[in-house]
Amino acid sequence: MKILVIDDERFALQLLVDTIHKVRPDAEIVPFRRASQFLEYEEKDTFDAAFLDIRIGKMSGIQVAIELKKYSPMCNIVFVTSYSEYAFAAIQMRPSGYIMKPYTEEDIKNEFDNFRYLPQPEPKDENKLKIRTFGNFRVFGKENTPLKFSRTISKEIFAYLIDQCGYPVTSKEIAADVLEVEVFDRPTSKKVSQYVSDLIKDIESAGFSNVILKQNRQIQINKEAVDCDLYDLFAGDAVAVNAYHGEYMIDYSWAEISDSAERIKSL
């Protein structure tokens, strides 16, 4: 989901962006402080939603909405303002929503839950590695063939990286959470490095590259290189929501108390 956010007050803009990010962590947010920045933006036809302050200088948020609708007619417009006197003019635009400042995270969430237009899901890339975390952890390569791992522990490390949702982790964290090793010494470090190396080889042998990124002694999943039900769920994808039946990576004990598991429970 791609979201436009405009507010001419720096603090107010950052607060709105942060709140939206909490509600939709996987959304792409494009923030502007001036309407002129939006007018110069070339990809006006790519927005699924827009949160617009009504008073943003010479050009009002309502005027921005009119311009935006020319390019993205199915964009969900939500006006955000401190001034109730603009309510009637805003409603004439038939927006998806209208929020008065100060707002709460729950207010923003309610707007997403009641959008006038449901964002269209992007077509699945058949060249991506397919990850399924609901129930057992499963990985499928090309033509939906189960991916073969040379080591069971490498597969578990892959599950752990998926669970981290793109956040980088260190070998020490992998050793503590997956291997359940309390003392991280040189032999343990070498073991983890070998497991990760074997994992990368398994994935590349199946014809997929850049799935795991290593930089500055940190390891992370490239979320753009995988088709994962967990990530779809967090993005609000209806298919993923319906596919989840209360079980997540039941193969691994650490998954029961992970941050991702807690996020799922809060949805």
Task: Look at residue 266 in the predicted model and tell me its pLDDT.
Answer: 87
Q: Which residue has the tokens 């040189």?
A: 186
Alpha-carbon separation of residue 75 from 23, 36, 218 (angstroms): 18, 19, 38
Task: Report the percentage of the chain scoring pLDDT > 90.
Answer: 66
Strand partners, 226: 129
pLDDT of residue 100: 87
Query: Where do the DSSP E strands lie in 101-194?
Result: 129-132, 138-140, 169-170
DSSP secondary structure, 248-266, as one string: B-TT-GGGGGSHHHHHHHH
Where are the domains positioned within the chain?
2-113, 129-266
**Partners of residue 141 on adjacent β-strands:** none
Dist CA 7 CA 52 (whole Å): 7
Contacts of 137 (CB under 8 A, 6+ apart): 155, 159, 162, 249, 251, 252
Question: Which CATH code of 3.40.50.300, 1.10.540.10, 1.10.10.10, 3.90.850.10 fits the domain covering 129-266?
Answer: 1.10.10.10
- Ranking 41-50, 82-91, 104-113, 200-209 by mean pLDDT, the lowest is 82-91
DSSP code of residue 158: H
- Give the CA distances from residue 91 to residues 39, 87, 106, 130, in Å, rounded to whole numbers and listed in that order: 23, 6, 21, 43
Q: Does residue 122 surpass a pLDDT of 70? A: no
Closest CA to 98 of 106, 60, 88: 88
- Which of 59 and 168 is assigned the larger pLDDT? 168
Question: Considering the entire predicted model, what is its pTM?
Answer: 0.57
- CA 155 to CA 152: how far, in whole Å? 5
Q: Which two tokens stand for residue 161?
A: 């990286």
**Is the confidence at residue 118, as pLDDT, over 80?**
no
Query: Does residue 86 register a pLDDT over 60?
Result: no
How much is the mean pLDDT over the chain?
89
Q: What is the pLDDT of residues 64-77, one digit of tens each?
A: 988 998 999 889 99
- The DSSP element (H or E) to which 219 belongs, if any, is strand 218-221
**Contacting residues for 253 by C-beta, under 8 A, at least 6 apart:** none
Nearest to 21 by CA among 115, 147, 112: 112
Per-residue pLDDT, averaged over 103-118, amounts to: 88
Q: Residue 237's pLDDT is what?
A: 85
Enter the CATH code of domain 2-113.
3.40.50.2300
Asked if residue 125 has pLDDT above 80, the reply is no
Measured in whole angstroms, how far is the alpha carbon of residue 163 from the centre of its chain? 13
pLDDT digit string (tens) for 166-184? Answer: 999 999 999 999 999 989 9
Going by C-beta distance under 8 Å and a sequence separation of 6 or more, which residues neighbour residue 104?
Answer: none
Cα(266)–Cα(251) distance, rounded to whole angstroms?
21
Q: What does the alpha-carbon distance between residue 84 and residue 64 come to, in Å, rounded to a whole number?
A: 19
Tokens of 95: 């927006």
Quote the tokens at residue 168.
Answer: 């980088």
